[in-house]
Chain A
Amino acid sequence: MELSILIFLSSGLFLGWALGANDAANVFGTAVGTRMVSWIMAAVICSIFVVLGAVISGAGTSHTLGKLGAITALPGAFMTALAAAISVYVMTKAGLAVSTSQAIVGGIIGWNLFSGQPTDTKILLTIASTWLICPVLAAVIAVILYKALRVTLRHAQLHLVRTDAYLRLGLLLAGAFGAYALGANNIANVVGVFIPASPFPELRLGGLTFSSTQQLFLFGGLAIAAGVLTYSKRVMMTVGGGLGRISPTAAFVAVVSHSIVLFAFASRGLEAWLLEMGLPTIPLVPVSSSQAVVGAVVGIAILQGAAGIRWRVLGTIVLGWMATPVLAGVICFLGLYFLQNVFTQKVF
């Protein structure tokens, strides 16, 4: 592989690393923060399942992003991912809630504008509407699950110690599912823009064939895993405080709801099943893991009388929501201009 290819891929890998460092906390943060699961156990499980989710189920959301803007030149893809990564970094530093999904969409639109490609407004609207639906859906699922779990626990009359042990196992399983869903849903953000310009040839290992895209996903997945293993500990430890004190039961429900939502927006299997049943399908769109988990926690808080909600925090989330894609789009547009005119790279 040429060195230049690695350099161009580096922005996507950096974005992947940032995603792993931040979003692993959505999956395992409450479990680790409440000391129900040790960090090392969480990090290892999260890393493995995020890679599996990316490689096995990552294609659906990437396809949608590809429809929004098929970036054909590697330097263009580099700048799009870099613009998203910079936006994520800047917004995080500014203390605003940030989503890599929104950043990458902003970046792609920036590329579309620069290259003169039309942006499919129908796809854009579908994507933007899922950003609204995602936290709401997570909240609804969380409310239903929380009520069901409370009724079940009340009737099961389990010993406190046993409930604790089951919750621990539940948090691990939910975390594994959450990591898989995160990998499947968000891998498109990390390396999706590189697909049309993917430099990897098809790889055959024994009887298995790995497509060029799957190899890209593997790289992206490993970058996310690296983020989880190197930088997620502190984020996980503080996430409990950020969301307010929640019980392990609520933590479990929040993670499961988050994971169901991310999986629903990523699963081609579910899409095929819904089609078969004649039901409306769920668009395969990368959504924000953070917003899903915040939606779930808010749902549970509303169920408990909304006393625990910090509306100011919710306000900053909405602000970050609108600012992220705009910022990424502007950075991408300017960056492409430099890349084309200063570094004489072919960006489309």
Chain B
Amino acid sequence: MSRMKKFRLFGRTRQLEGQIDDFLDKLSESTVMFRLGVRTYLNEGANGEFEQKLMAVNALESDADTLRRNIEKELYTHTLIPDARGDVLGLIETLDHVMNLFEGVLWAISIEKPDIPEEFTPGFKKLTDMVVQAADALVLAARAFFRTPHAVAGHNHKVIIYEKEADKISTRLKRDIFGSDLDLAHKMHLRNFVEQIDNVADWAEDVADRLAIYAIKRTV
């Protein structure tokens, strides 16, 4: 093999490594923006700052999409990591969906502007925090998959704990909503948002389950 070829081989490696890291950075950033966006809405309503966070998540999701496509193309064009590329693609695609869910919640808030009575805002905040923590733990698990696969299980465990807590919070919140004096349409509107937010944690758990298998395959 010529020196040029070797140099290019590692150049491509560095580039792909960078793209995967960038992708995970975008996901990590989007969890922060999502949390800030929901909090801004709950505290101040759909103001300019909220729209700014929505646009930020939107841009992050779009950048992540581009990165995902590049990673997929690179892996398949140059037959890189042949034994694990299916797993890597599966992981990247399911992680990408987490961002889609974040974006979906913020767009729904922006369009539908749900009227959330003050008594329910602490519940929504708690739920959002728990969901974001689940997503953050998932990002750590995904990062571990690429460098320290034996550490994935620890992060996955946290994803599962946060998901369970998010389920408890959402159940309590829905019970409170339907036990209140609001009219049925309002109750159903709020329930829709509770479920949409909680859905992110459910999805994070599903991804963590897949990731556990990928990691076992890597450590065997």
Seen from chain A, the residues whose Cβ lies within 8 Å of a Cβ on chain B are 34-36, 41, 154, 157-162, 164-165, 168-169, 172, 247-248, 304
Residues of chain B lying within 8 A (CB to CB) of residue A164: 13, 80-81, 84
B residues near A158, Cβ cutoff 8 Å = 147
Instruction: Please give the distance in Å from A180's CB to the nearest CB on chain B.
Output: 16
Supposing A165-B9, A165-B10 touch, asked if A157 and B148 sit within 8 A by C-beta, the answer is yes
Starting from the known contacts A160-B81, A164-B84, A248-B83, 6 additional A-B residue pairs (CB-CB under 8 Å) come to A157-B147, A159-B17, A160-B145, A161-B80, A162-B17, A164-B81
Knowing A165-B9, A165-B13, A172-B1, the reply to whether A160 touches B148 (Cβ < 8 A) is no
Let me know if A168 and B9 touch, CB within 8 A. yes
Interface residues of chain B, those whose CB is within 8 Å of chain A, are: 1, 6, 9-10, 12-13, 16-17, 20, 79-84, 88, 145-148, 150, 218, 220
Which residues of B lie under 8 Å from residue A159 when comparing CB positions?
17, 20, 146-147
Q: Are B79 and A35 closer than 8 Å at their CB atoms? A: yes
Residues in A with CB closer than 8 Å to B148 are 154, 157
- With a cutoff of 8 Å between Cβ atoms, the chain B residues found around residue A160 in the complex are 81, 84, 88, 145-147, 218
Q: Across the interface, do A34 and B82 meet the contact criterion of CB distance under 8 Å?
A: yes
Q: Which residues of A contact B84 (CB under 8 A)?
A: 160, 164
- Distance (Å) between the CB of A133 and the closest chain B CB? 30
Tell me the complex Cα distance, A169–B10, Å.
10
In the assembly, what is the distance between CA of A168 and CA of B145, in Å? 20
Which residue on chain A has the smallest CB distance to residue B9?
Answer: A165
Inter-chain contacts of B88 with A (CB < 8 A): 160
Is B83 a contact of A247 with CB atoms below 8 Å? Answer: yes
A35 to B83, CA, bound (A): 9
CB < 8 Å A-B pair total = 50
* Chain B min CB distance to A161 (Å): 5
Q: How far is the CB of A46 from chain B (nearest CB, A)?
A: 13
Q: Cβ of B1 and Cβ of A41 under 8 Å apart?
A: yes
Q: With the chains together, A154 CA to B215 CA distance in Å? A: 13
**Cβ of A304: which chain B residues have Cβ within 8 Å of it?**
220
Determine how close the nearest CB of chain A comes to the CB of B175; give it in whole angstroms.
44
Determine if A35 and B10 form an interchain contact, defined as CB atoms under 8 angstroms apart. no
Known: A169-B9, A172-B1, A304-B220. A161 touches B20 (CB 8 A): yes
A157 and B147 alpha carbons, distance in the complex (Å): 5
- CB of B95, distance to nearest CB on chain A (Å): 15
Q: Kindly list chain B residues whose C-beta atoms are within 8 Å of the C-beta of A161.
A: 13, 16-17, 20, 80-81, 146
* Residue with the highest number of chain B CB atoms closer than 10 Å, among A34, A161, A169, A172: A161
Which residues of B lie under 8 Å from residue A172 when comparing CB positions? 1
Q: How far is the CB of A237 from chain B (nearest CB, A)?
A: 14
The 8 closest A-B pairs by CB, nearest first: A165-B13, A35-B82, A164-B81, A160-B146, A157-B147, A159-B17, A161-B17, A161-B16
Closest CB in chain B relative to A38 CB, distance in Å: 9
- For residue B210, give the distance in angstroms from its CB to the closest CB of chain A: 16
Are A162 and B1 CB-contacts (below 8 A) given A34-B82, A247-B83? no
For B220, the chain A residues whose CB sits under 8 A away are 247, 304
By beta carbon, the residue of chain A nearest B149 is A160
How far is A165 from B82 in the complex, measured between Cα atoms in Å? 11
Q: Which residue of A lies closest to B75 (CB)?
A: A161
- Chain A residues near B83 (CB-CB < 8 A): 34, 247-248
Report the minimum CB–CB distance from B142 to chain A (whole Å): 11
The CA-CA distance from A154 to B84 in the complex, in Å, is 17
Most buried by B among A36, A159, A160, A172: A160
Contacts of B1 in A (CB 8 A): 41, 169, 172
Closest A residue to B6 by CB, please name it. A169
Min CB distance B62 to A, Å, is: 24
CA distance A247 to B17 in the complex (A): 21
Could you show 28 A-B contacts with beta carbons less than 8 Å apart?
A34-B82, A36-B82, A41-B1, A154-B148, A154-B150, A159-B17, A159-B20, A159-B147, A160-B81, A160-B145, A160-B146, A160-B147, A161-B16, A161-B17, A161-B80, A161-B146, A162-B13, A164-B13, A164-B80, A164-B81, A164-B84, A165-B10, A165-B12, A165-B80, A169-B1, A172-B1, A248-B83, A304-B220
CA distance A237 to B91 in the complex (A): 29
